[in-house]
Amino acid sequence: MTAPDSHALPRHEAIVNASGMAEAHAVYRVGVRDLCEFSAKTGSLDLRFTPSPTAQQGIQGHQWVAQQRGPHHETEVALSGQYKGLRVSGRADGYDPLHNTLEEVKTHRGRLDALAPNHRALHWAQAKVYGALMCQSKGLQEIVLTVVYLDVVSQTETPFTEVFGAADLQDFFVALCNTFLMWAEQELAHRQRRDQHLAALGFPQAPFRPGQRDLAAAVYRACAQSHTLRAQAPTGIGKTLGTLFPALRAMPVSGLDKLFYLTAKTPGRQVALDALRQLAPPTTPPPLRWVELVARDKSCEHPGKACHGEACPLAMGFYDKLPAARQAAAQLGTLDRAQLREVALAHAVCPYYLGHEMVRWADVVVGDYNHYFDRSAMLYALTADQGWKVALLVDEAHHLAARACSMYSADLTQAEALAVRPRAPSSIRPKLDAWLNEWQLLLDREARCVPPQDAVTLNDPPESFLRALQKLNSAIGEHLNNHPTQAHGPVLPFYFRTLSFAALADAWGEHSLCELDTSDQPPPLAPADPTAPELPWASGADTARPGDGSGQAPGRLSLRNVVPAPFLRPRLQAADAVVLFSATLYPEDHDHHLLGLPTETRTLVVPSPFDPDRLAVRVLPISTRLSDRARSLPPLAQTMARQFDAAPGNYLAFFSSFDYLLKAQRQLQAARPDIATWAQSPGMTEADRQAFLERFQVGGRGIGFAVLGGVFGEGVDLPGQRLIGAFIATVGLPQFDQANDAVRTKVDALFGRGHDYTYVYPAVQKVVQAAGRVIRTATDSGTVWLMDDRYLRPPYRDLLPPEWGLARSTR
């Protein structure tokens, strides 16, 4: 699958004259590929799946072609040339000086006639630019150009050769350069205007709030001096403006190309966009460009239609219409989801992929963690490919480790293989059946374990299982190579999952766990719909699997990452500066071990600027352990009622589970039916969540019951009298189950802190976040009840904020 191509960000540089003095010339550096992709790419967007070589296969393919050539053949020939203010450079794949032949090598898999015409035209454009540069370099009058397509599977070359005159190639080169220069000159003017604006940027909410100036100063130093900063700052001091403002001020100082503001949840993106509107009010032309990235399913205008010109009107002619859409978007500058959509639809292009294009030309990008940290993250790939100098602002950074673990985990089930088998083409069936046999062997082997277990942790992914999976992937890939029009139906998403699993298996190491779970129940195999159109590759409705193992328990094999540092480290190193900030950071050793932070990372802890006397923290020394919960209910309800009577208003009560929550709510309702209560329920919709929060009105009175660590435990802003207190009836420990214990054992073996990393630190973080809902501004006041005796003892007491003053706490 090929996404819209990337473009180099035009740069200007100083040229040294004959006297040795630097002169500021408007010289732009751009690679041959980027020049062609910007100026020569036409046609429709086409994201239909087409099997393509891996990066390693591409490298090996180029090497194989070079080995087939004679002794005079030159490889990776460095070429460069200049036209007006544009310096173009790149490396031609090969040149034979004896025959004056320059080669551009492209690797592929499967049928060459499946290659889109606009891709072929782009390949020829690159060959012609290299030809023009070679003619300039050697003073040639003409040159032979060959575009060589190599099938990496069959190692078959298909060459296309033409002879071009130097004058024609120069005319082609000049035309591309002129197209690019028009944009590049605009970009230089924007960069100068941006840097002037940011150098004079004033803080929009002067004066700084208490603690906000310390945060801003530390962020500025991190971005200006190119280092990594961990910043813990209390809720309510304005962390978003306190990080965005200094990072923007540092951009002209440190020569940053881009600033990536990354969030864990959608509300965090909105807060960042609101802050950007204050820092760069809309003007024409805009001094600062920013773009919001959203998930494709949230920005698709034609859900259900495939992303190619034959199916979607916004993909048709995408690259033909892109220049005008890009120009309009750049002139607008402030591109949140709604504004990006408006520009895109006005030019009949896809909003999602226009947003991707504008990342190349934006100064600030606001997106989710996965846009930079995921395995296939666009922002990281572009940063590495284009050599951008970027700074990362990672909001609510206490979420990063858990989110990264999910990014670098994968699982496969026996049930999904059984479900896809009836639709699989006959060429795939033997390899699919062989893999299903490996499933059965794996399950049978584990079934003989004594005592029997539903889930086991394996030392390594089973080798024979992985070999069968690789053969299955090869078979599916070969079928799609030979039948590109059949890349639809249930096999394709199944193929993506098996490829993902295989890729993580290749990266297997001590950072992950391999777990086999035999407790899953498979979905029933639905009979084929007689009214549905027959798929071209369907070979019948055979739902039988090899052997008679239909009565066997299904299985799930998981590669579960528990230490994402090996994957995150190169992404953090690719950034010039990194700032991770939150109201509740984990201890330093935790972040160094799990996130892969550099050893020289600096840490800032901003003390709470709020009067500690405005928050009363009290402890009810009871046990909320599972075996004691029934006995805990009466004192819990009594304490909540007494607090409500002493200070009527709105409260949040947090519990470890929905079961415990409902029992406590019933206990309070039975004892005090006059106190209004409302409760979180599993699977609440967005409307349900909003209705829950709307109960917290100024002048209201009641208690909302919620689960600790859920949607109401953080990111909820209920200032003033909307919320005056919280009850936290748990220490928030994750479940002591087999899955978590496997993590504890693994982390303990690696770092010696398994219990703390797995249980204690996540628990305390959730507690502090929940308590942080009470004090949102300097004028707020309230009460937090910690309802468990463990809060009075280490390690919980020692990890809580010192301003809570638990030594003075009373029952």
Give residue-wise pLDDT tens across range 778-797: 889 999 999 999 999 999 99
Question: Of the candidates 549, 477, 484, 480, which has an alpha carbon nearest to the alpha carbon of residue 518?
Answer: 549
Share of residues in the chain with pLDDT > 90 (%)? 72
**pLDDT at 18 > cutoff 80:** no
When pLDDT is averaged across residues 699-704 and rounded to a whole number, the result is 96
Q: If you average pLDDT over every residue of the chain, what do you get? A: 88
Cα–Cα distance for residue pair 776/610, rounded to 1 Å: 9
Give residue-wise pLDDT tens across range 280-290: 877 888 999 99
Cα–Cα distance for residue pair 570/580, rounded to 1 Å: 16
Give residue-wise pLDDT tens across range 417-430: 999 999 899 999 99
Give residue-wise pLDDT tens across range 368-387: 999 999 999 999 999 999 99
When pLDDT is averaged across residues 670-693 and rounded to a whole number, the result is 95
- Stretch (H or E) spanning 784: strand 782-786
Higher pLDDT, 255 or 775: 255
When pLDDT is averaged across residues 112-140 and rounded to a whole number, the result is 94
**pLDDT at 44 > cutoff 80:** yes
For the CA atoms of 198, 204, 206, 211, the dihedral, rounded to the nearest 10 degrees, stands at -80
Give residue-wise pLDDT tens across range 179-201: 999 898 899 899 999 999 999 99
HSE, side-chain direction, 13 A CA sphere, residue 450:
0
What the block records as the tokens of 124 is: 């020829």
The pLDDT of residue 348: 97
Give residue-wise pLDDT tens across range 504-544: 999 999 999 999 988 754 433 333 333 333 322 223 333 33
Q: 488: pLDDT confidence band, cut at 50, 70 and 90?
A: low
Judge residue 80's burial from the number of C-beta atoms within 10 Å of its C-beta, 0-12 exposed, 13-18 middle, 19 or more buried. middle
When pLDDT is averaged across residues 619-639 and rounded to a whole number, the result is 96
The pLDDT of residue 53: 82
Of the listed ranges 124-128, 543-547, 657-661, the least confidently predicted one is 543-547
The pLDDT of residue 811: 37
Q: 486: pLDDT confidence band, cut at 50, 70 and 90?
A: low
Q: 552: pLDDT confidence band, cut at 50, 70 and 90?
A: very low
C-beta of residue 476 within 8 angstroms of C-beta of residue 421? no
**pLDDT at 351 > cutoff 70:** yes
**pLDDT at 32 > cutoff 70:** yes
**pLDDT at 138 > cutoff 70:** yes
The single residue listed with the structure tokens 């007689």 is 530
When pLDDT is averaged across residues 749-766 and rounded to a whole number, the result is 93
**pLDDT at 547 > cutoff 80:** no
Question: Of the candidates 24, 129, 144, which has an alpha carbon nearest to the alpha carbon of residue 83?
Answer: 129
**Long-range pairs, 50-56, Cβ under 8 A, ≥24:** 50/1, 50/2, 50/110, 50/114, 50/115, 50/480, 50/484, 50/487, 51/109, 51/110, 51/477, 51/480, 51/481, 52/1, 52/2, 52/108, 52/109, 53/107, 53/108, 53/109, 53/152
The pLDDT of residue 1: 36
**Long-range pairs, 109-112, Cβ under 8 A, ≥24:** 109/51, 109/52, 109/53, 109/151, 109/152, 109/153, 109/477, 109/481, 110/50, 110/51, 110/151, 110/153, 110/480, 110/481, 110/482, 110/484, 111/481, 111/482, 111/484, 112/149, 112/151, 112/158
DSSP string for residues in 543-597 = ---STTGGGSPP-EEEEEES--HHHHHHHHHTSSEEEEEESSPPPHHHHHHHH--
For the CA atoms of 412, 417, 420, 421, the dihedral, rounded to the nearest 10 degrees, stands at 160
Helix-helix angle 351-359:318-332, to 10 degrees:
60
What the block records as the tokens of 232 is: 């813990």
Of the listed ranges 354-363, 370-379, 444-453, 576-585, the least confidently predicted one is 444-453
Give residue-wise pLDDT tens across range 55-86: 888 899 999 999 999 889 999 999 999 999 89
Give residue-wise pLDDT tens across range 83-114: 998 999 999 999 999 999 999 999 988 788 87
The pLDDT of residue 17: 30
Integer CA distances (angstroms), 86 to 10, 129, 173, 266, in order: 9, 14, 11, 41
